[in-house]
Chains A and B, each alone.
Chain A
Amino acid sequence: MSEEEALLSVRDLKKHFAVSGGIFSREVDRVYAVDGVSFDIAAGETLGLVGESGCGKSTTGRCILRLIEPSSGEVWFKGTDVRKMGGTALRALRRDMQIIFQDPYASLNPRLTVGAIVGEALTIHNLAKSRREHEERVVQLLETVGLQPDHLRRFPHEFSGGQRQRIGIARALAVEPKLIVCDEPVSALDVSIQAQVINLLEDLQEKFGLTYLFIAHDLSVVEHISTRIAVMYLGRVVEIAPSRELYDTPLHPYSEALLSAVPIPDPTVKRQRIMLQGDVPNPIRPPSGCHFHTRCPIAKPDCATRVPELRESKPGHWVSCHYRG
């Protein structure tokens, strides 16, 4: 995909967090949370971003919205560099890009009514001309996400987890965004409720032509909702492919192991599982060369010295491994 076609292009994005210590709180170390991530998202598609805890997927999502300031790299949205934007332009940008968080309770102000939470963005961006229009729009948003108009005057604690996530979605939709970063939107929900929210997100995408960056650790959910998937390991993207292709023919040994570890809810399916040894290494001092070489079943000596580039192995299927693809 060329940069002109993409709604969002991320190029070599990096975010390093300082680890301070000593009596003067000097920087003694750095966590390489995001270590050179690049991908594109086309308008109307869903890009899934998967990986295990600490791989940098959430930090990537937040850097795109500049909720966290990236250390370096470029984020292009509709042809403009998000990283160079200042006050007014940034506020306008936030109308186009919204985020939904994992914990719907922690991300809703407990002292505001649902009406105030959903309507706040309308006020900030002057999207309603009168009080009546404001209220009508809020009611319409609540109905869009499957809530009742009379929920308007209630507080977040009166709702269940699934309903709270609907409130979070209504709030994101209020400004009619083009891109929504969904950061583990269903991870805190029970399975039966999870399905309701996933279906809602799919319906909204179709209705409003939304583009999603869908961040999650649950590979089954990501496969279900995504057009394409990017797999991250220790701050880097190791593979990007159309979602079905990734599941059928994963190229990177990490993607392969990750997929084989997902339990299948069918006792008649028996699979060969690739067991990875050990834990994810510490991102403060990630392994040299390919970050995955310490746990990789096919690692060769030079994997510890040479950093693999993300290259296109088949059309649309990118992998960063010296020996696969």
Chain B
Amino acid sequence: MAEPLLDIQGLKTWFKTDDGLVRAVDGVDLRIDRGETVGVVGESGCGKTVTARSVLKLIDMPPGRFEAGRILWQGRDLIPLDDAEMNKIRSREIAIIFQEPMTSLNPVYSVGEQIAEVIELHQNLSRKQALVGAADMLKLVNIPNPERRVHDYPHQFSGGMRQRVMIAMALSCQPKLLIADEPTTALDVTIQAQILELMQEMKERFGMAIMLITHAMGVVAETAQRVVVMYAGKVVEEAPVGALFGDPRHPYTQGLIRSIPRVDRSAGQQARLESIPGTVPSLLDPPPGCRFAARCKYAMEICTQAIPPLKEVAPGHRVACVL
């Protein structure tokens, strides 16, 4: 197999808080190949965002720290790199877009200046050339009147348009990997559809890989090729998208899929939603054994004793469950 683009091995990102040590990411393995879209799903607090931010080392340290593991970017471990070396990788090789574009854009600079800054820094172009490049990028992400809008400020754009600006900025250096952290969660459904289509279009054009972090199973089903399901700081299942939705093996994944109402099925076919009892455990003092055991309807004694490792059940389909 060719060398993966990104290969996270046994990553542990922990945070020291007043209440104790929070094991936000607690031994995560995750691989992304070139040009592939990988969906990372899970509920709030499962560690998906911390995993993504760890890759770009956007974690405040302290309180955070890398306890263990390696983050191999094209074979090279990113963890020992200093900020100057990381800056060569950020934007140019790995770019990120966030859930709330308004808080990630600087309100006192025009969007053109902000995109131009990225281009200037990473491509050694003059300011003037960079501004032209910025307008081209806005045009690429289908913002009407790009030559004029390049001088506008973030507050003059709607939520969907701001996310387009973020995508334009992220793609301005043609990265090999785009990390999209809940890119459509704050958007209305018709705008979400526009942004997902735009990301697909950009992917076809630039051939980059996408790490799509979301809690929406529908979004993953429609965009990802491979899916990684996280629960309480760990990966519980990983599979090609068809296998994950067609034959989910982990009880948590099964519960997650069955708990969503489906627009395309009549209410008669789905009279009652299956729900997962209880709530996500605290990451402060995670119970020994499988983190899901307390909510799992198949839990046995062995589940509370040792953490089940990920094992392959079919080609490319790995599950962390004793069953």
Residues of A within 8 A of B (CB): 52-53, 160, 162-163, 190-196, 198-199, 202, 217, 219-221, 223-225, 243-244, 247, 257-269, 273, 275-276, 279-280
Question: Cα distance A258–B246 when bound, in Å?
Answer: 26
CB of A273 within 8 A of CB of B193, answer: yes
A224 CA to B267 CA in the complex, in Å?
6
Q: Kindly count the residue-residue contacts between A and B in the assembled complex, taking CB atoms under 8 Å apart.
A: 127
What are 6 A-B pairs with beta-carbon distances under 8 A?
A53-B188, A195-B275, A196-B276, A199-B275, A243-B267, A267-B246
Cβ 8 A contact of A219, one of B189, B196, B217, B280? B189
Residues in A with CB closer than 8 Å to B246 are: 267-268
- Closest A residue to B225 by CB, please name it: A267
The reply to whether B189 and A217 contact each other, CB–CB distance below 8 Å, is yes
Judge whether B126 is part of the interface by a CB distance below 8 angstroms: no
Is B83 an interface residue when CB atoms closer than 8 A count as contact? no
Q: Establish whether residues A244 and B189, one from each chain, have CB atoms under 8 Å apart when the complex forms.
A: no
User: Cβ of B194 and Cβ of A275 under 8 Å apart?
Assistant: yes
A262-B256 in contact (CB<8A):
no
Tell whether B18 is near chain A: CB-to-CB under 8 Å: no
Q: A195-B274, A199-B272 are in contact. Are A267 and B242 (CB under 8 A)?
A: yes
CB A167 to nearest CB in B, in angstroms, measures 14
Q: Could you say which residues of chain A place their CB within 8 Å of the CB of B286?
A: none
Closest to B268 in A: A244
Q: Which residue of A lies closest to B144 (CB)?
A: A278
Smallest CB-CB separation from B191: which chain A residue? A279
Q: How large is the interface on B (under 10, 10 to 19, 20 to 34, 35 or more residues)?
A: 35 or more
Q: Is B241 an interface residue (CB 8 A)?
A: yes
Q: A195-B275, A199-B275, A202-B272 are in contact. Are A265 and B190 (CB under 8 A)?
A: no
Task: Please give the distance in Å from A31's CB to the nearest CB on chain B.
Answer: 16
For the complex, give the distance between the alpha carbons of A190 and B255 in Å. 12
**A243, B280: Cα distance in complex, Å:** 33
B158 within 8 Å of A by Cβ? Answer: yes
Which one of A53, A217, A220 lies within 8 Å of B260 (CB-CB)? A220
**A-B CB proximity, top 9 nearest:** A263-B218, A224-B261, A195-B275, A195-B259, A190-B43, A52-B188, A192-B276, A261-B193, A265-B217
B158, A195: Cβ atoms closer than 8 Å: no
Chain B residue nearest to A248 (CB atoms) is B266
B217 near A191: Cβ-Cβ < 8 Å: yes
Whether B259 and A194, one on each chain, are in contact in the complex, defined by CB atoms closer than 8 angstroms, is yes
Contact call B242/A196, Cβ cutoff below 8 A: no
Cα(A198)–Cα(B272), bound, Å: 9
Residue of B nearest to A194 (CB): B259
Q: Would you list which residues of chain B between 211 and 235 have a CB under 8 Å from chain A? A: 215-222
Please, which residue of chain A has its CB at the minimum distance from the CB of B46? A190
Tell me whether B44 is interfacial, beta carbon within 8 Å: yes
A196, B277: Cβ atoms closer than 8 Å: yes
B197 near A: Cβ within 8 Å?
yes
User: In the bound complex, how far is the Cα of B197 from the Cα of A260, in angstroms?
Assistant: 13
Inter-chain contact B215/A190, CB cutoff 8 Å:
yes
Contacts of A275 in B (CB 8 A): 193-194, 197
Contacts of A247 in B (CB 8 A): 263-264
CB–CB B242/A192 < 8 A: no
> When the two chains form their complex, are residues B221 and A264 in contact, meaning their CB atoms are under 8 A apart?
yes
Alpha-carbon distance A263/B241, docked complex (angstroms): 14
